[in-house]
């Protein structure tokens, strides 16, 4: 997988974290390298590492271990307001008079993401 900038990758990780309900943490954050891991369980082997690729002249995923042996996290420090608004923007625009409780209910039951 290729990304133009590190910020684009970080946004994708935040969205993935929200959708799969996993609390991820950016461990190594340098201009040309980023490493992310799951922090709830020390035994979980989920990790992703990206770095700059001279061949493609962009940032590329170098290693990705997609093994989960951990539970869902209900607290997530990585998800910020921007990720949530981008995710629910279309729903809120379609239903302008929707109350806050209804938005919370839709977000807690099913957030429409595929992991």
**pLDDT by residue (tens digit) across 40-49?**
777 888 899 9
Question: What pLDDT does residue 113 have?
Answer: 55
Question: What pLDDT does residue 107 have?
Answer: 66
Question: What pLDDT does residue 20 have?
Answer: 81
What is the spatial order of strands in the sheet that 47-53 belongs to?
Answer: 2-3, 58-65, 47-53, 33-38, 24-29
Does residue 64 form part of some domain? yes
Q: Which residue range forms the structural domain that includes residue 85?
A: 2-109
Reported as a single tens digit per residue, the pLDDT across 15-27 is 888 888 888 888 9
Distance CA 63, CA 85 (A): 30
- Residues forming a β-bridge with 6: none
| Confidence check: pLDDT of 63 > 90 | yes
- Read off the pTM: 0.73
Provide the number of structural domains found in the chain: 1
Measured in whole angstroms, how far is the alpha carbon of residue 115 from the centre of its chain?
A: 10
């Amino acid at each position: 997988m290729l990304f133009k900038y590190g910020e684009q990758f970080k946004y994708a990780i935040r969205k993935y974290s929200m959708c799969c309900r996993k609390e991820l943490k950016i461990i190594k954050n340098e201009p040309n390298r980023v490493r992310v891991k799951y922090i709830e369980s020390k035994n979980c082997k989920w990790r992703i590492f990206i770095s700059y690729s001279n061949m493609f002249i962009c940032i590329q995923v170098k290693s990705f271990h997609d093994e989960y042996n951990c539970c869902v996290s209900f607290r997530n420090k990585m998800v910020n307001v921007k990720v949530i608004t981008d995710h629910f923007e279309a729903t809120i625009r379609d239903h302008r008079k929707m109350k806050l409780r209804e938005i919370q209910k839709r977000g807690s039951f099913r957030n429409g993401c595929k992991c």
